[in-house]
Amino acid sequence: MSSSRKSRSVLLLLSALASALAGLLAVPGAAQAAAPSYVALGDSYSSGVGTRSYTSESGSCQRSTYAYPRLVASARGYSLDFRACSGATIGAVTNGQLSALNSGTDYVTISVGGNDAGFTGVLTECAQPGWLSDCNGAIDKARAFITNTLPGRLTTLYAAIKSRAPGAVVVVVGYPRIFMGEDCNAATWFSPAEETRLNSTADLLNAKLSAAARAKGFKCANPTSRFTGHAVCDDPEWINGLSNPISESYHPNRAGHSSGYKPLVQGLLVG
């Protein structure tokens, strides 16, 4: 065989070998499955208000890299679509967040209902001196709403989530008890009896969230036990007391998200 023919043969062999190797190297990338999709819906307890650090793109929604959806997504390797927004009500979630869901959504978390029940207004009322406020009246109004009106709204919302993401694992995330029976903040006047009633109202809200969730086959993440011993004025506290800015008040701090919510939600956001 001439040297030129041998050279051409070698070149052809090397070219074929290179093509084969390229094909082999491309297989893992092509076969690699996309990260499971995770959509985080809800209000300030999901967005991360209270952690004191928010992403610029989230604006007034105040989404934080320290919020439990970010922490869970990072730990599990999920692809996160973070839609939770400070101040969100059931209506806001329905109209502004559910569009993130589709038939390919694998996991969903949602915390909503506290703003519908007017919890911010109740806390503001009860934080005042007793002679200046009608704390019990505010609590009674919130409890009536939670008992009589909220369940129907939750049923409609959860049905919409089920319809948009029929194959998703959905975890409904509740609210912790905020108080531990004492008020250590100089500028607030929560009495022990008021704190007990406020905690009981959080329990009532969680019960309604759980009942509506289970009726749709969703999982429930009730944070009550995890936050026991870590309420406002506890040591260490995982929930901020009266804060500056005031919007940070009575929300889980970074420890509340990393040690309270993350392990609870992460254990359920599978399957």
Question: How far is 216 from 234, CA to CA, in rounded Å?
Answer: 36
Catalytic residue among 37, 47, 230, 251: 251
Question: How far is 208 from 139, CA to CA, in rounded Å?
Answer: 16
Q: Please say if 230 is a catalytic residue.
A: no
Q: How many CB atoms lie within 10 A of CB 38?
A: 23
Count of alpha carbons within 13 Å of 238, Cβ hemisphere only?
A: 22
Q: Which amino acid is at 31?
A: A
- Report if pTM > 0.85: yes
Residue that has been written with the tokens 């290179």 in this structure? 18
Question: How far is 169 from 110, CA to CA, in rounded Å?
Answer: 11
- 8 A C-beta contact, residue 225 and residue 259: no
Helix (H, G, I), strand (E, B) or coil at 185: coil
Q: Please say if 251 is a catalytic residue.
A: yes
Helix (H, G, I), strand (E, B) or coil at 54: coil
Residue that has been written with the tokens 């084969």 in this structure? 20
Domain ranges in the chain are 1-32, 37-266
Residue that has been written with the tokens 């939750």 in this structure? 154
CATH code, residues 37-266: 3.40.50.1110
Catalytic residue among 37, 44, 64, 249: 44
Tens digit of pLDDT at every position of the chain (271 positions): 554 554 455 444 445 444 443 443 444 444 467 999 999 999 999 999 999 999 999 999 999 999 999 999 999 999 999 999 999 999 999 999 999 999 999 999 999 999 999 999 999 999 999 999 999 999 999 999 999 999 999 999 999 999 999 999 999 999 999 999 999 999 999 999 999 999 999 999 999 999 999 999 999 999 999 999 999 999 999 999 999 999 999 999 999 999 999 999 999 999 9
- 8 A C-beta contact, residue 63 and residue 84: yes
Question: How far is 50 from 40, CA to CA, in rounded Å?
Answer: 17
For residue 68, give both structure tokens.
């439990």
